[in-house]
Amino acid sequence: MASKRKRLTLKEKIDILEFRTSNTMGVRALADKFSVSKTQIADIIANKDALYKTWAENGEEKRKWTKLQKTETSIINNEVLNWFSKLREKNLPVSGPMLQEKSKQIAEMHGFDFKGSNGWLEKFRKINNISFKSVCGEAASVDEEAVDNWKAKIPKIIANYAECDIFNADETGLFYRVLPDKTMAFKNEICTGGKISKERLTVLLCTNMLGEFERSLVIGKAKRPRAFKKLDINNFPVNWFWNKKAWMTTEIMTEWLMKFDNRMGQNIRKVLLFLDNAAPHPHLKMKNIELVFFPPNMTSHCQPLDQGVIHQFKKLYRTQLLRKAVADLDANSSQPINIMDAIYWVSSSTKNIQPETVKKCFLRSGFRHRDNNVTDVDDLLTPIEELGNLIKVIDNTITENDYITLDDCVETYDADIENSSDTTSMSTQNEEESDEENDGSEDQEIPKIRSLREALLAVKDIRTYISSIEVQNSSLFSNTIQLENALTYEITTPAISKQT
């Protein structure tokens, strides 16, 4: 019987190959003769060329006691490079941590002791002439002539549609509660699992040429995170979906598209929807929506949302996040940010994107419409001076752009979606299990207010206080009045219903 797996020197592996050359023996027989596992024999035979090459390059005696480590590394490198090449053929972004994670998976599959260190990553990058700056995005590899040809076709494609009926939708990854002092730890993470992935949501934005946004779609890792408690998900200001990886899937995208199609039908509208060629985006024939897909490897130049809309969305989102963080610091308090906070910030961020910004992004992407009177596309984004000031309070070593773009290269779907079993909609998982997702809300204090009447009294106290001081935000008082009126309505409506 073959013994347990043992580490072999390079010479011992060459000896096995030489013996096999002069003796016709199968894998099992070789394993028994040399007291190793069948898997080891199979690996040696499969990688004989690499083994002989290493032996020839380094000399027999000089490398007599060389361990398998370098041969193992060459096996891992070859398989990682093949995997990397396939992803880049599909124009999918690949980060350093993604390569390291893949190398560990391959090593585990072969039974190798391999750490996938930063040193390995740097050597792998140099050997294969890989630049992570060009890997992360599309811009460096875009054919400018092809882009110009595509843009020339757009006016004809959209000619029969009004601006309000021409849409673009796209996903983006969002580290929903990361602060500036954590930016460098999260920058360009791939987030396939583990602690970091729990900080990520996938957000789908959809807007027309006028800057009118559809309700955002947000994908998390649990059906009902603790922050949701007994809230009705149907009343949320976003569409909530979930799966283990918080990734977009074909099932989720199809459901969203069908609902969008039904809504357009109810409003008696025929619309165009431009999408990129991401794997989860299905090519559907619908009654009220005509799907148009951007050519591969062009979205960085041709997709309106990529021209600044998503960037502005994240700028607005992180401004709200930091307002809370700084307010907590000022109050010497620390209430963790949870998914419920994120949902409302996503909603308000899309509402606060200026229509002029969206119009300019469409125009820069080649969407020249007969009704479009926008001519200046140089200043696409609305500056938010407050964000820079808030960042300095938390960490003045981080630039505003680094903080805004820290998750621009985060994957929003499974690159190998056809063979994936973890990213499908988790409708079969029981709700109790999904409730265990930790979104930070379990650390929150027990609410001091126990009823709507107590909440109304508290809001009245707030209104009284605000009216007695000078405030910078002129709408603060009116917003408090609106909240007071809404609470009053909630309290009085049941009482009126009982009397009638």
d(CA 169, CA 303): 9
Q: What is the mean pLDDT of residues 123-146?
A: 65
- Is the pLDDT assigned to residue 184 strictly greater than 60? no
Cβ-count burial of 162 within 10 angstroms (0-12 exposed, 13-18 middle, 19+ buried)? middle
Q: pLDDT tens-digit profile of 418-459?
A: 444 444 454 333 343 444 445 554 444 556 788 888 888 898
- Is the pLDDT assigned to residue 499 strictly greater than 70? no
The answer to whether residue 252 is domain-embedded is yes
- Identity of the amino acid at 8: L
The answer to whether residue 434 is domain-embedded is no
| Local structure of 291: helix, strand or coil | strand
> In this structure, are 115 and 214 located in the same domain?
no
Residue 369, both tokens? 């419409």
d(CA 158, CA 165): 9
**More confident: 173 or 393:** 173
**More confident: 6 or 469:** 469
The answer to whether residue 437 is domain-embedded is no
Which H/E stretch holds residue 234? none
Sheet containing 289-293: order of strands: 239-242, 217-220, 200-208, 166-175, 271-275, 289-293
Range in 118-122, 172-176, 224-228 with the lowest mean pLDDT: 118-122
Beta-carbon contacts of residue 300 (< 8 Å; ≥ 6 apart): 137, 138, 139, 142, 306
Residue carrying structure tokens 């000078």: 470
Backbone dihedral region for residue 478 (phi beyond 0: left; psi -120 to 50: alpha; all else: beta):
alpha
| Pairing between β-strand 217-220 and β-strand 271-275 as defined by DSSP bridges | unpaired
> In this structure, are 359 and 463 located in the same domain?
no
Which H/E stretch holds residue 236? none
> In this structure, are 340 and 487 located in the same domain?
no
Beta-carbon contacts of residue 453 (< 8 Å; ≥ 6 apart): 491
Share of the chain above pLDDT 70, in %: 74
| Local structure of 211: helix, strand or coil | coil
d(CA 374, CA 107): 55
- Contact by Cβ (8 Å): 76, 106: yes
> In this structure, are 92 and 204 located in the same domain?
no
d(CA 171, CA 305): 9
Average pLDDT of every residue of the chain: 79
> In this structure, are 79 and 46 located in the same domain?
no
Q: pLDDT tens-digit profile of 159-181?
A: 999 999 999 999 999 999 988 86
d(CA 486, CA 370): 43
d(CA 408, CA 164): 28
- The beta strands (E) that lie in 94-197 are given as 166-175
Final residue of a domain: which of 343, 373, 405? Answer: 405
Range in 103-117, 296-310, 447-461, 482-496 with the lowest mean pLDDT: 482-496
Residue 63, both tokens? 């490398």
The answer to whether residue 477 is domain-embedded is yes
> In this structure, are 166 and 239 located in the same domain?
yes
> In this structure, are 120 and 226 located in the same domain?
no
Q: pLDDT tens-digit profile of 315-326?
A: 999 999 998 888
pLDDT in the model for residue 292: 97
Final residue of a domain: which of 389, 405, 421? Answer: 405
Label residue 90 by pLDDT band (50, 70, 90).
low
> In this structure, are 31 and 98 located in the same domain?
no
pLDDT in the model for residue 175: 93
Per DSSP, 37 falls in state -
Q: What is the mean pLDDT of residues 72-84?
A: 83
The answer to whether residue 190 is domain-embedded is no
| Local structure of 389: helix, strand or coil | helix
**More confident: 387 or 370:** 387
- The domain of 34 spans 12-57
The answer to whether residue 418 is domain-embedded is no
d(CA 84, CA 95): 10
Q: Report the CATH number at residue 110.
A: 1.10.10.60
> In this structure, are 209 and 79 located in the same domain?
no
> Which of the given ranges, 340-344, 449-453, 491-495, has the highest pLDDT on average?
340-344
d(CA 34, CA 180): 56
- Is the pLDDT assigned to residue 345 strictly greater than 70? yes
How many domains are there within the chain?
4
Q: pLDDT tens-digit profile of 230-278?
A: 788 988 999 999 998 899 999 999 999 999 999 999 999 999 999 998 9
pLDDT in the model for residue 383: 62
- Is the pLDDT assigned to residue 374 strictly greater than 90? no
> In this structure, are 335 and 477 located in the same domain?
no
